[in-house]
Chain A
Amino acid sequence: MAIAKAERLMNLALCLLGTRRPLSKRELRESIEAYLEAGTDDSFNRMFERDKDDLRELGLVIATVEGLDGEVGYLARRDSNRLPPITLDAEEAAALGLAAKVWQQARLAGAASGALQKLRAAGLPEDVDPYEAHGALEPRIPVHEAAFEPLMLACRDRRPVVFDYRKANAAHPETRHVEPWALECWRGHWYLAGFDRDRGAERVFRLSRITGRVRSRGTGFTAPVPDVVTVRETVASWAGESADRSALIRLRAGAGYPLRARASSVRELGDGWDELEIPYGHGLDAWLVEFGPDVVVLEPAELRADVVDRLRAVAKG
């Protein structure tokens, strides 16, 4: 029961925050109705440990102190739990208001609202969102991948993970042992960068290709974590965006706008065709084939051969 749990957590938090001396488990049990009703010592102990973990997730720093009588006591000290002074003007408040709404993932959406509420309690001015005034800008961070939350926690806590991963062209998934460094969202898809223990090198994984559950492996990291982890550059190069060569194609007049948009030169041939020079990166052959009879590759020969090859596969059906 969500309500009952929130009430219990709230009471535990208030007890720990309100006390000046450590409170023993016994004292806490007697102060909080839900604990008195917990039944056996065992079930109380389990509940108490879970609740402490939950409050720590909320950012509460709970100190464990051993008293003179050997009994362990708990308290949330004022100086370690107080938000340092922070003053934000109305514009800054509005900007944070916009940012707090972008997460689509339940855990982070809750955390972002929670952060804003804490700042609000600390005096964050009531905002008039400059965009919300006319409701015109809605940035949203999509998270559709089931692997996201466990990997986010593993990156946060620097815990190695194991998962089954299916490479783009592989028929079957393969088990990968990874020390996860960072997650990055680009063009609406999430990627993980980390140290692949089996390959002994850095790898980038696309979260949508992780099959099954992400399992945690208790031991720490074995490889150093680089200061800067760049995922986007790697993925962009796979997506053919770091072309170092160029290709020459013929394109039917009026067709292929995106090819024209990135062409370095366009020459009208006058016979209903144009000649374009375009960047030639990974995957260009597959893209050119999409334009069917409206594109003819002139050079290089390698690209021309790849396109013809692909067209033959389709023509054979």
Chain B
Amino acid sequence: MAGKPVRPVNAIDQTRRMLSLVTYLRERPGARVEDVARAFGITEDELVSDLDVLPMCGTSFRGGDLLDIDTDGERIWWHNPAALGAEAAEPLRLAADEATALLVAARAVATLPGLREGDRQALLRATAKVEAAAGEAAGASSRLSVTFESEGGVFADVDRAISERRRLWIRYYSPARDEVTEREIDPIRLVSVGHTYVEAWCRRSEARRTFRLDRVAEIKILDEPSAPPEIELRDLSQALVQPAAEDPEVVVEVGPGGRWVAEYYPHDSADELPDGGLRITLRTPDPASLRRLALRLGRDGRIVAPSELADSARRAAREALAAYETAYEVGYDAAYGTGQGTGRGAADAGDAGAGVPAGADPAGGPHDRQEQGL
């Protein structure tokens, strides 16, 4: 299934799984391979590899009490369930990491704005029961927390449109061009990775696009049915948008105050500079969309290439400055000051904060494919 985390072959995870498996199989003679794999959230191949190991396990390899478990590929048979005493086959208590992983995730999903109320209530009930069953093991789960950002109203409309298979009309803000455009989309799924996005088939560009919910200025559920073409769902967790190899290259040099660029923009390389800065090479289908970045960087960095991009930022800055000079002429001076640079510099707002772009999170902005060719 797309988006499913890749599970590495790991002795700890496999042992954990096999321990639960013996408990599960003991109660269900002749269980179907397919059903067990689904119940355990693993592939049939993974299950079969567990079933290969189990006959080598038991309370002693000498006494002939190894687990006699086999499968004909369809059903699983355990010929000597008595080999394992009832006490060795009871469900095991949750480990601290297990309780943490499940509880932190459940709490995070429960706070997702726009989640259906029935599902939220089910999550909260389940969370309380798991907390109670985990006992002390649940204690450390408060040391980890996750917040998903979402626009509740937009989320609910998208969710409804998906389940009713209806088309959506949206007004959507593209930061790269600083414009709001209208389009009709056939929604496919909602993905929350920090922010929440809807992946959809865009009827305007006839292509797959992802839209960040907090950039949806307006939304309407249309009467037309949604009919997205069958497309392969990608794992969006690593990066929502991966630049293509044929995209033009942009080189940015930043000082220490501009290092955040490497944290927010997917890039090909980031080489250390002697002054504590970075030389960052990235690719984007539309370098002009990076003018915002050039303007924001100010004295913390500059565009090295392409030169048209650097020129356009310079032109924009000069044009903007001219407006202040005009304002001066018409008498804003007295009211608003001369605009003489105070060189406040970067505020030391704390260890993690300074330099984090405020307001608009540029991540994904200039690389959003949905902006391409619009």
Is residue B183 within 8 Å, beta carbon to beta carbon, of the partner chain? no
Residue interface mask B337-374, A partner, CB < 8 A = 1: 10111111011111111111111110100000000000
Q: Which of A113-144 contact B (CB under 8 A)?
A: 113-123, 126, 130-131, 134-142
Question: Given A11-B57, A204-B351, are A155 and B140 also a contact pair (CB < 8 Å)?
Answer: yes
The residues of B that contact A232 with a CB separation of less than 8 Å are 147
- 16 A-B pairs besides A139-B109, A301-B336 with CB distance below 8 A are A19-B59, A84-B93, A92-B126, A93-B126, A118-B92, A126-B35, A140-B192, A181-B143, A185-B145, A188-B195, A205-B351, A234-B353, A235-B352, A291-B178, A315-B317, A317-B310
- State the CA gap A31–B149 with chains docked (Å): 53
The residues of B that contact A284 with a CB separation of less than 8 Å are 358-359
The residues of B that contact A235 with a CB separation of less than 8 Å are 352-353, 356
Is residue A66 within 8 Å, beta carbon to beta carbon, of the partner chain? no
Contact A117 B41 (CB under 8 A): yes
With both beta carbons as reference points, the residue of chain A lying nearest to B175 in the complex is identified as A258
A90 to chain B, nearest CB (A): 9
Q: Which of A176-207 contact B (CB under 8 A)?
A: 181-189, 191, 203-206
With both beta carbons as reference points, the residue of chain A lying nearest to B342 in the complex is identified as A305
Q: Pick from A57, A237, A283, A290: contact of B292, CB below 8 A.
A: A290
- Of A18, A84, A100, which is in contact with the most chain B CB atoms at under 10 Å from its CB? A18
Q: Pick from B56, B133, B147: contact of A186, CB below 8 A.
A: B147
Question: Given A183-B144, A293-B323, are A101 and B276 also a contact pair (CB < 8 Å)?
Answer: no
Q: Which of B149-191 contact A (CB under 8 A)?
A: 149, 159, 162-163, 173, 175, 178-180, 187-191
Residue interface mask A258-299, B partner, CB < 8 A = 1: 100100000000000000000001111011011111111011
With both beta carbons as reference points, the residue of chain B lying nearest to A173 in the complex is identified as B276
Is residue B207 within 8 Å, beta carbon to beta carbon, of the partner chain? no
Question: Given A54-B12, A86-B132, are A140 and B352 also a contact pair (CB < 8 Å)?
Answer: no
Q: Which of A146-167 contact B (CB under 8 A)?
A: 152, 155-156, 165-167
Contact B91 A188 (CB under 8 A): no
B313 to chain A, nearest CB (A): 6
Is residue B327 within 8 Å, beta carbon to beta carbon, of the partner chain? yes
Question: Given A78-B90, A284-B359, are A31 and B61 also a contact pair (CB < 8 Å)?
Answer: yes
Is residue A71 within 8 Å, beta carbon to beta carbon, of the partner chain? no
Contact A114 B16 (CB under 8 A): yes
With both beta carbons as reference points, the residue of chain B lying nearest to A152 in the complex is identified as B144
The residues of A that contact B10 with a CB separation of less than 8 Å are 2, 106, 110
Q: Can you show 20 pairs from A to B with CB atoms below 8 A apart?
A: A3-B49, A10-B54, A18-B59, A30-B62, A80-B93, A81-B90, A92-B123, A118-B98, A126-B38, A156-B140, A168-B256, A183-B144, A184-B146, A187-B147, A206-B351, A231-B145, A292-B319, A293-B320, A311-B320, A313-B299
